[in-house]
Structure 1
């Protein structure tokens, strides 16, 4: 009887965590008239088949101002997108991997300056490519080993997966340990620290360091150290069967129309739910919802704490969200540099959607995006499942969210 009671209590607690409060733009200190324009604009863009559907969320100073879903989670099944629809957030996962590393840094188990080979001996003796001409490759040992910081800033020189497992991001058929062993034997594309190159293999390697330093599987570390403390009850690496019905389908454009994507995309056919997958994907593996992600971003805005639960110290949040790439051309958008697994707005051209200098963010391959603007005390989440370009819809939402801020930037 007691075990049933405890299980029931756990279930009720989960429901409490999962349900967001009613959105109130006025209470949040935003212009309610401007906020009210967001959902109709998103619907119009979905109706025009720019995307299948969206979930959009805005929080200001910790209060929910807007949470709306428009369009379809599954067009063919006439299944509407819902505010609690689950999506694959893809590379937004990288922020969580970075936070996991920082937790271990705070525990004295990892240093940002550590050579990767200290934690993963298979990385010893790496080579760097000097030149490649007519099929002839010249290599040498790098001037220094790659470090944890190099991995977190995408300046390690680690390239794509080797040809033998080049489809691992689609099939997910190797364990993280097996994959990183292969990654370790590939030559670097350039001397560590000298260039910026977005590196999925580098972030996967960070995830493997989390496993080795913590003694826990990567997905278990996220579950127990991040998701559970923040009440992120719909966030997973491997989505449980009872939640498959809430997953939004993935779409791509063909002959001008949206059609479901097949198996030849990241993580394979979305509606096969990664059946049989072994790879935990620290670079792209998380499923989540808008409200779950809002907890994550609010924790970062709060300098590492949410609802009395401390995940990171203020100093760790500060070092993660500071530009570390200097004058290197970094990031996917103009005007940004890179922190430790976060893109950071550093120049005026990066503010064209209304972001403040110092805003930190990250997107995902299927169009998802989230940001924290410390100057405006604003958090935003944009969820979509679009294998092509969803940026026009995303940027419309960002501009509208920022336009609702009443107070001038500090």
Structure 2
């Protein structure tokens, strides 16, 4: 057996033990009806250190949570989009300092509320400082491509001078993904499948799950008036089934994945853009996108953070992130999923849950308990 293949096999999550402290923390959260269940994973650059599943994937059927459960990872999609952009920068196809209009001519018509022409850069899109207006699900209707989404974005006035403010912006991320489509000549889903997911072995990461994958989807819940948990739909699906392709690939938050899949992506980033002998990104690109690119702008959903290119960066660990090192980077998702990479301790922390109505999915007690348990 080739050494690289052997290393890859030994690194798989199937060989990992369960950290009792993490399992206890997740059992406590399920008992308190904060969540129905969870999949948790801790790894380093070479191997999986903890891999566990607690609680239920479906409370009604009493289906136990399994480690291969599929989750809507929501905004954990954003680091993937940032990575795709940096892959194109490495290839000489773009610079993140370029104006978006260099690749998307429709953006030459972008204006502010006063009718003045506005220029936004790819970097501003990725750091949430472009000021672009959002497009609601009702406005996007049955749009099925990023290309068709762009005119709707340009038709709305920019909300503030680009670079002057941080404001979380879904349209900026989708705009950056459309640039990737133009410079690569491939649809965004095809680009990710061909250049990232398939080479990394991420077989269960997709915008459009198959029926077989959908059968492993962890059910999403919200708190009921009685204090329990009740089923709730995924906010972006509308009345469409999860398998439908009649929706545009939401680069901002449309991916589904598993813990084992996202671990492969995170390990590649932790290792500076390389995994199992294949280089996906230059070390320079990884450093650029995972260090603060938002200057002194006040950012984020928890204190002490800055923003990289599609990644949140922890400047001053505190609160839920107190056990992580300065410079840790990652992203949370709307339904409580969390992925963080500590480059000092060389650790990957993955928390997959599906809780719809957390007051602050990045600042949840569940995340705090997970990080603290993982630190033990």
The two structures have a TM-score, normalised by structure 2, of 0.92
Q: Which deviations, in whole Å up to 9, do the C-alpha atoms of 1:68-100 show, x marking residues without a partner?
A: 001111111111111000001011101111111
Query: C-alpha distance in 2, partners of 1:172/1:260?
Result: 25
Long gaps (5+) in structure 2? 1-8
- Per-residue deviation at 1:18? 11
Q: How does 1:220-231 map to 2 (within 5 A)?
A: 220-231=190-201
Mapped pair 1:364 → 2:333 = yes
Secondary structure, aligned partner of 1:117: helix
Aligned counterpart, 2:231: 260
Q: How does 1:370-409 map to 2 (within 5 A)?
A: 370-389=339-358, 391-402=364-375, 404=376
Q: How does 1:31-50 map to 2 (within 5 A)?
A: 35-50=19-34
Q: Root-mean-square deviation (CA), in Å?
A: 2.1
Aligned counterpart, 2:130: 156
Aligned counterpart, 1:322: 291
Mapped pair 1:295 → 2:264 = yes
Q: How does 1:17-32 map to 2 (within 5 A)?
A: 20-24=13-17
Aligned counterpart, 1:136: none
Secondary structure, aligned partner of 2:48: strand
Q: Which deviations, in whole Å up to 9, do the C-alpha atoms of 1:315-366 show, x marking residues without a partner?
A: 0000001111121111111100001111101124367530100000101111
Mapped pair 1:273 → 2:242 = yes
Q: How does 1:67-106 map to 2 (within 5 A)?
A: 67-106=51-90
Count of residues in correspondence between the two structures: 364
Mapped pair 1:204 → 2:177 = no
- Per-residue deviation at 1:236? 0.9
Cα 1:356–1:18, aligned 2, differ >3 Å: closer, same or farther?
closer
Contact 1:268 1:274 in 2 (8 A): no
Q: Which deviations, in whole Å up to 9, do the C-alpha atoms of 1:250-302 show, x marking residues without a partner?
A: 11122022111136x223369x3153523111111111000111111111110
Cα 1:340–1:194, aligned 2, differ >3 Å: closer, same or farther?
same
Cα 1:328–1:372, aligned 2, differ >3 Å: closer, same or farther?
same
The two structures have a TM-score, normalised by structure 1, of 0.84
- Per-residue deviation at 1:159? 1.9
Query: C-alpha distance in 1, partners of 2:315/2:336?
Result: 22
Query: C-alpha distance in 2, partners of 1:376/1:172?
Result: 45
Q: Which has the larger radius of gyration?
A: 1
- Per-residue deviation at 1:19? 6.0
Query: C-alpha distance in 2, partners of 1:299/1:268?
Result: 34
Query: C-alpha distance in 2, partners of 1:208/1:360?
Result: 24
Aligned counterpart, 1:240: 210
Long gaps (5+) in structure 1? 1-15, 26-34, 130-138, 405-410
Secondary structure, aligned partner of 2:215: helix
